[in-house]
Amino acid sequence: MEVFYTLPENIAGNQVKLGAEEARHVIRVLRHKVGDRIQVVDGEGNEYRCVITKIGRGELRAEVMSQTRRARETVAEVTLAASITKGAKMDAMVEMATELGVSQIVPLVTMRTIARLTPARLRRFRHLTVSALKSSTRTMLPRIKPVQEFEQFLKESSYFDLRLLAYEEERRTRLREVLVASPRRVALVIGPEGGFSETEVAAAQAHGFRTFSLGPRRLRAETACIAGVALLLYELKEL
């Protein structure tokens, strides 16, 4: 069954309202009618199985028949902190990371980061996460955090009980060798096309980050992000 998204404030008791864009899709594209069943998520982990009770011009209301919590979500909360890349490359990364199951995405500015993010691009990322949430039938909407300097992210990293950094100069240590049992909050850091400087890696290690290799071949930054997330979730038995 297709999944539809609504804001948490559009749910009151057992009544659900879809926003105009979602309502148009349900009514005009899928041709649903009153009495049809739909599945709605609020991006905060709640999934509602509903029956449509009212259809109007750009409006749809439904009654909740049953509710589940955090269906298809990972146990570990994974934060992907990735150096900003240009144009569509980062768009694709945001979509695929959402589909895989990350909890939040932090755009990073590192020493060798070239691209920058505008407020419009950040808004686009948030739109992409909603689309990817629906296509992957997730219930938690990843948070797109404000842009952070790499050094600042390190200073605030004590929140995580496992801190990982993919480093192209790390030749031997693989991901499974730096994992800990049953982590609850994981930070996965991926650098820019030019990689991290030795100074940045040393600073990360001083803050408890464990470096690991993504293999012998050089990967583009967006490829490294998805490979890293997929490998991490696989090793954690979340994929």
Nearest residue to 19 via CA among 51, 36, 42: 42
**CB within 8 A of 190, min separation 6: which ones?**
80, 81, 82, 83, 166, 221, 224, 225, 228
Residue 215 near residue 129 (C-beta atoms within 8 A): no
* Torsion angles phi and psi, residue 112, rounded to 5: -110, 15
pLDDT, residue 56, reads 85
Domains of the chain: 3-69 (2.40.240.20), 77-235 (3.40.1280.10)
Q: Could you list the mean pLDDT of each consecutive 10-residue stretch along the chain, which spans 239 residues?
A: 93 95 92 95 97 90 96 96 92 97 98 93 95 96 97 97 96 94 97 95 98 94 97 96
